[in-house]
Structures are given as structure tokens and as C-alpha cells.
Amino acid sequence: MAKVVVVTSGKGGVGKTTSTAALGAALAVGSNGSPGKNVVVVDFDVGLRNLDLVMGAERRVVYDLVNVVQGDAKLSQALIRDKRVETLSILPASQTRDKDALTPDGVARVIEELRERFDWILCDSPAGIEKGAQLAMYHADEAVVVTNPEVSSVRDSDRIIGLLDSTTAKAKAGETMAKHLLLTRYDPARAARGEMLLTEDVLEILSIPLIGIIPESEEVLRASNLGSPVTLSNPDSAPARAYFDAVRRLQGETLEMQVPSDRKGLLSWLFGRRVA
């Protein structure tokens, strides 16, 4: 049965779009033991779309979510199939309209149709807690809450968790939505030096289960430069491995939690220092 997952955070810039792309691609290619799934990543950030750019599909957008919601295009015409992974598609947001172009009924229809075609539907939420963010989460079965180990991000995540538990279709039906914490931009060295909130601190405050810890890495910027999810551009890199683990947990596996790290030579370390 298809699963609708909203990737949300409240705060902007914490890695929702990056994570949507990386998780979607990881689900679609599969990993040892779990075969690739049919996946669509949906951009709900109407007016400020960016998932197309991060996925490297920006040149190929013809129709978007708003066109489908308003009946100007068929879903099949708006879906863009990824050129690298056959089972991965993207449904872009509109760049020219505003949030009001999406209607709750229209979004419901599109989500229903997506459920028939795909195993996983990952909805990239806009930042904030207003209409756009609420529409992105409304039909979700589960939520991935992207959080940085930083005070304002944790506070906003707490707010979003409250909304997930009160304003979604699941909440209104009296059910609880499964929520997963994805900790991004985590720097184990700084956390060890007491300069960054510890994973345990964040978990204790938000009290939702942890699905992954994505280490701060230059590979993430490189991936977005190239227009490729990091799980495709460098699947062996530390952040990619963390995303692959997160995807296995999302599918119900129990894995030991660890923060993958990249082994580096002295020279590349020096070089990295100089440029950074």
C-alpha cells in the first residue's frame, strides 16, 4: 500500500528539500536487502520551487502541481521521470503562482491519484506553518521532521509536531501520525566539545523517534551543485550512507544508530581547510 510522507520542519534552510531528494532517491534505488520502490517526490513550495533544481530536472519542467490541481494538465503530463533512476519521478511546484492556487480538494485528488501509481509519495513542505505547509502535511500517513541541532530549529520542530498532531487528516480522524526525527547538519566533533546540542538533548525535548543523523558534509553542497540527490551523486559518502540507513528505518527495519563519517587523507584535509 502506498505511503504518503511529508518532509517538514517549520524552519527554513534546515535541509527539507535536500533530504526529500536524498530519501526519495535512496528509496527508489533500494539497498542491500530492500528492492527499489516506485517513488515520487512532490514539491509543495508554490512560488519558490527548488526541488526541481536539487533533483536536476529544472530544464524539463512543463507542467506543475498547480496545473494538475486546477485541471489544466493530466498528472501523467506533469510528472517528470528521473533520468538516472527509472522508478523515481518528480512533481514540481509552480514558480509563478502563489500558495492560494492550491485547494484542499484539488490536492486531495492529486494525492489519491499518486497513491495509485507509486509506493512512496514524499511531499517536500514549504517552510513556515501556514497554508502551504499545512496542505503538504494534511494527507500524510507519516512525517519526517527535519531538525538541525540548534535552538530555533528545535523550537520550530516542536511547533510542527503540534500541528501534525492536530490539523492533519489523520489527527482529525482520531489517529496518531507516525513522526520521525531526521537530524541534519550534525557535527559530532562540535557536539563532543559541547558546542552543539547533543542528539540525546534534541530527542529528549522533541520525544519522537530518531530516523537518522546526517553529518554536516561538503558532499551535500556538491550534490546540489550537480543537481543530483547525494544518495545518487556519491552513495558511499557519509551523508548518503546516513540517508540510506534512514530509508531502511522508514521501511520498518531496526538498525543500530550511528553517524557515518568520511575517512580523509592528510592532503585533502589540508586542501579542504584552505578553501573553506
Partner 1 sequence: MSGGGIGGGKGFLSGLFARRGSAPVARDRLQILLAHERAGGSEGQSDLIAKLREEILEVIARHVPIDRDKVQIKLDRGAAMTTLEIDVEVPGLKLGGAAAAKSVSQ
> Cα(105)–Cα(119) distance, rounded to whole angstroms?
22
Q: Rounded to the nearest 5°, which phi and psi values hold at 26?
A: -65, -40
Interatomic CA distance for residues 224 and 19, integer angstroms: 11
C-alpha distances in Å from residue 243, one per residue of 30, 68, 115, 132, 188: 11, 30, 23, 26, 16
Grid cell at residue 45: 513550495
The residue (of 10 and 92) whose beta carbon lies closer to partner 1 is: 92
Q: CB 273 → partner 1: shortest distance, Å?
A: 6
Nearest to 91 by CA among 83, 82, 100: 82
Binding site for partner 1 (CB under 8 A): 53, 56, 58-63, 67, 74, 76-77, 94-96, 187-190, 215-219, 221-222, 224-227, 234, 236-238, 261-265, 267-269, 271-273, 275-276
Q: Specify whether the CB–CB gap between 40 and 121 falls below 8 A.
A: yes
CB of 153 to partner 1, least distance (A): 18
| Least distance to partner 1, CB of residue 96, Å | 4
Closest CA to 146 of 4, 6, 2: 6
Q: Which is nearer to partner 1, 142 or 262 (CB)?
A: 262
Q: What is the nearest approach in angstroms of partner 1 to the Cβ of residue 262?
A: 5
Between 67 and 89, name the residue whose CB sits nearer to partner 1: 67
76 vs 207 by CB, closer to partner 1? 76
CB of 234 to partner 1, least distance (A): 6
Cβ atoms of residues 139 and 107 within 8 Å:
yes
Q: Give 166 or 273: the residue with its C-beta nearer to partner 1.
A: 273
